[in-house]
Amino acid sequence: MTTIPLRKWIAGSGLALALTGFGHAAMAQDEGPIRVGILHSLSGTMAISESTLKDEMLMLIDKQNEAGGLLGRQLEPVVMDPASDWSLYAEQARDMLTGDDHVDVIFGNWTSASRKAVLPVVEELNGLLFYPVQYEGEESSENIFYTGAAPNQQAIPAVDYLMSQGVERWALLGTDYVYPRTTNKILEAYLKANGVADDDIMINYTPFGFSDWQSIVSQVKDFGSQGKKTAVVSTINGDANVPFYNELANQGISAGDIPVVAFSVGEQELTGIDTAPLVGHMAAWNYFMSVDSDANYDFIDDWVAYTGNDEAVTNDPMEAHYIGFNMWTQAVEKAGTTDVDAVKDSIIGVTVPNLSGGASTMMPNHHITKPVMIGEIQDDGQFSVVWQTPTTVAGDAWSDYLPGSKNLISDWRAPLRCGKLDVESMTCEDGPGAE
């Protein structure tokens, strides 16, 4: 009784699958435009950072179309506004990936919370997402390409640099959410592995939008006056940075006494602050607007011309989208189609020029290679690069310094196809390779 309907059902679903596959193939040969989804908040608290990325994507698409499009077809941007609401990101990603006019690729997201919301959607509907912002790692998805920095491409090299400058005491200040907490956990483990005593590490978390910095800054000042060279590692996010830096300046803490190295403060964030008292405080990124290369100067000229604003600034996540977009177009040309599975395979190993005069490669773990730079704030709101890794660094999805993830790797190439592979037991915990 039961076997027949089951068999029928299997046969039927097989047919349906074949049909959908056929439908997709037919659509790929479609002569219509290639749709590029842009999923960045244009309103709400994240608009300050994300709306720039939307404009940059439109510029890149314009340029690609002027140069003849992709596979002989034009690119068509599909812009949505998730309004800084994490669940709205998931809904709109679903809208983009379903229906007749579904997009071939999505460029978007900023906060880790929004990425975590979109992740199950792109995995379920087999979409492609390029995520351009530095993040905490400990994640790998078959459908997401992480073009921002993993902790080993930002936090760890920054700490290495400070150690080479003789820093012995560490104040880790952060906003109270997943990215700072995970990053600080990694950093604390790393510092202790390098022989830093418990007493020489101070960790403090503050809420989003915190503004009463006086006693924390004074505490840091006291912490730094014990005779050992001290630095602040800041994962403070969003607009809490403005009162934080103002308080530093007011209490007279200069970069010569206690330098602050920040992971979430770039050119864009500094436009709202008077930087004269902050000269010498640092940020760690993979790109700065001041980077000395012709590719960068051309990009800035294009950006200034596109926005029509002579004061327009560029920043690290913009470079990440620039790299991500070029990688995707190359992968599509290589595959000869925009089909998601074909592009996922062809993009691994694709190398494109970055804006600092080098090149970035897509690695099998869906992270890219990047140079790491330390920049010091200048009085004109720009950064001056004072240190740079001699070669590019490949992003590591699973940190080597956390006990829970030090044996894990991610490799999405054909035989393994696994996002969470334990190299000791060779067991795969996540991905098609698990079966």
Which residues contribute to the site for another protein (CB under 8 A)? Answer: 43-45, 47-48, 165, 176, 204-207, 209-212, 214-216, 218-219, 222, 225-227, 239, 242-243, 246-247, 249-252, 255-256, 259, 272, 274, 279-280, 290, 292, 297, 304, 310, 376, 378-380, 384-387
Cβ at position 116, least distance to another protein in Å: 22
The residue type of 14 is G
Nearest CA-CA partner of 213 in 238, 248, 255: 248
Cβ 259 vs Cβ 363: under 8 Å: no
Greatest CA separation found in the chain? 83
> Quick one: 119 or 217, whose CB is closer to another protein?
217
Cβ at position 323, least distance to another protein in Å: 22
Cβ 298 vs Cβ 314: under 8 Å: no
> Quick one: 98 or 218, whose CB is closer to another protein?
218
Nearest CA-CA partner of 353 in 314, 392, 411, 302: 392
User: What SS3 string covers 204-272?
Assistant: EEECCCCCCCHHHHHHHHHHCCCCCCEEEEEECCHHHHHHHHHHHHHCCCCCCCCCEEECCCCHHHHCC
Cβ at position 300, least distance to another protein in Å: 9
> Quick one: 275 or 369, whose CB is closer to another protein?
275
3's enclosing H/E stretch is: helix 3-28
> Quick one: 387 or 412, whose CB is closer to another protein?
387
Q: At what angle do helices 178-193 and 155-164 cross, to 10 degrees?
A: 40
Cβ at position 378, least distance to another protein in Å: 6
Cβ at position 312, least distance to another protein in Å: 10
Cβ at position 387, least distance to another protein in Å: 8
CA distances from 163 to 154, 167, 191, 282, 324 (A): 14, 5, 10, 14, 32
Cβ 311 vs Cβ 272: under 8 Å: no
Q: At what angle do helices 241-250 and 214-223 cross, to 10 degrees?
A: 60
> Quick one: 215 or 425, whose CB is closer to another protein?
215
Distance CA 266, CA 261 (A): 11
Contacts of 141 (CB under 8 A, 6+ apart): 119, 122, 123, 129, 366, 419
Query: Pairing state of beta strands 144-146 and 129-131?
Result: parallel
> Quick one: 30 or 292, whose CB is closer to another protein?
292
For the chain, the residue count is: 435
Cβ at position 306, least distance to another protein in Å: 15
> Quick one: 209 or 336, whose CB is closer to another protein?
209
> Quick one: 139 or 376, whose CB is closer to another protein?
376
Total Cβ atoms within 10 A of residue 12: 11
> Quick one: 165 or 307, whose CB is closer to another protein?
165
Q: Is 124 helix (H, G, I), strand (E, B) or coil?
A: helix
Cβ at position 182, least distance to another protein in Å: 18
Rg of the chain on CA atoms, in Å? 23
> Quick one: 146 or 210, whose CB is closer to another protein?
210
> Quick one: 41 or 183, whose CB is closer to another protein?
41
349's enclosing H/E stretch is: none
Cβ at position 47, least distance to another protein in Å: 6
Cβ at position 293, least distance to another protein in Å: 11
Distance CA 265, CA 258 (A): 17
Cβ at position 280, least distance to another protein in Å: 5
